[in-house]
Amino acid sequence: MIELDAGLTQRLRIAEKPGVTRTLAAILAHSGDSWFWLASIALLWWLGTGYWQRELLIMAVSIVVAAAVVFIVKRAIHRQRPEGEWGKFYRSTDPHSFPSGHAVRAMMLAVIMLGMSPGTGIILLIWAPLVALARVAMGLHYLSDVIAGMLLGLAIGGIVLLVV
């Protein structure tokens, strides 16, 4: 199973191949960054009112909770990231790859947004797997890392919707 995962991952990898597809993958890979989402949520919260401030706060807290869950799982599993040069910041701050925090966050946000604003949720539901695949394409994760991440994000997003 590990060999199959590594082989499929290698086939999806484009980090070392310059071009438009690589540039697009790099942008998508970064679009799931927690700092980007937390900063955007903070700005929208500041500009927003009532209902949306509450919903944005739920999203921000969910991002933090999901990060804690991912941290615990990564420390328990200790799977090293695939070898590579791209994403040195991620590699130095978090050498573990399973599960992909970006995949968790992207899918969780898509699920939560489906409950808040279905139209926007559908857009995020299309975006989330693209973020996950971009993380594989850029050599930061194995395919199984992002599949597990999307499943975990789906679960956390569903729990958030049930609780709030």
pLDDT at 135: 92
Phi, psi of 82 (to 5 degrees): -60, 155
pTM equals 0.90
In DSSP notation, 90-101 reads: HHHH--B-SS-H
- The more confidently predicted of residues 92 and 129 is 129
**Residue 124 pLDDT > 90, yes or no?**
yes
Domain positions in the chain are 20-163
Pair of tokens at residue 6: 């590594």
Q: Which amino acid, one-letter code, is at 85?
A: E
9-30 confidence digits (pLDDT tens)? 777 887 778 889 889 999 999 9
Distance from chain centroid for Cα 88 = 17
Pair of tokens at residue 91: 């590699």
Q: Which residues, at least 6 apart from 30, have a Cβ–Cβ distance to it below 8 Å? A: 36
